[in-house]
Amino acid sequence: MRILLQILSFVFVSMVKGQDADKLAGIPFNIENEKEIRIYQGPGIANGGKIFRIYLRKDENWSAELIQWFLPSYTGKDEFITIPPRVIQLKSKDNLEKAFITFEAMNIGYLPKEDLFKYKMSRSKAVYDNDEKEYVLSTREYIITDWIDFLVKYKSNNKENEFHYSNPESYLKDTPGIDEYESFMKVLKYIEANFNIKLD
């Protein structure tokens, strides 16, 4: 029963992406600032998620924050109550403008969608098929279900990028050398070191 509840929770939480997470976090779905980076950390089987956000406000000042949002809580009478998000203003070791440029230097504006490099998570080799009497390609795919998802939205003036990565750290342990994941892990490590927070 517990496993079934975890699976149902995962399916429900997996649907809480983009617009729903933004709504629960109290921020607009579309990036309205000229410069902004959002890194959404999915909740897995937890009851909420986190959004790291660094942006240039309309008044030309920089802000960085961590938003902890929560799924509606079931009251037991076919009713749900909304839990307000918790917003933490972050302190940065680097000047915030420099921090934003540092993210750009780590190619956050160019990292591709996960589908474009999924092939790197499988291992292929030629094997002899006795039935067919010829060599065939055998592919072994690794599927990791840690449920640590990241959605990234990036905007700098007219340039935008958006991508979603699942379990990058775990995949790197099993299939090292995926440079897209390695680049993204550098971004996460910079956030941890510079802002003294953890996203996973």
In the 3-class helix/strand/coil scheme, how is 67-107 assigned residue by residue?
EEEECCEECCCCCEECCCCEEEECCCCCCHHHHHHHHHHCC
Give the dihedral of Cα atoms 127, 130, 133, 139; nearest 10 deg. Answer: -30
Least confident residue range of 6-10, 59-63, 166-170, 184-188: 6-10
Asked if the model's pLDDT at residue 17 lies above 90, the reply is: no
Residue 152 CA from chain centroid, whole number: 6
Query: Has this prediction a pTM greater than 0.95?
Result: no
Q: Report pLDDT for 36.
A: 98
Least confident residue range of 61-75, 95-109, 122-136, 166-180: 122-136
Q: Any idea how long the chain is?
A: 200
Residue with the bigger pLDDT between 176 and 7: it is 176
Residue with the bigger pLDDT between 156 and 5: it is 156
End-to-end CA distance of the chain: 26
**What percent of the chain lies above the pLDDT cut of 90?**
58
Residue with the bigger pLDDT between 103 and 45: it is 103
Query: Residue by residue, what is the 3-state secondary structure of 21-52?
Result: HHHHHCCCCCCCCCEEEEEEECCCCCCEEEEE
Q: What is the DSSP letter of 110?
A: T
Residue type, 77: K
Q: How confident is the model at residue 12 (pLDDT cuts 50, 70, 90)?
A: very low
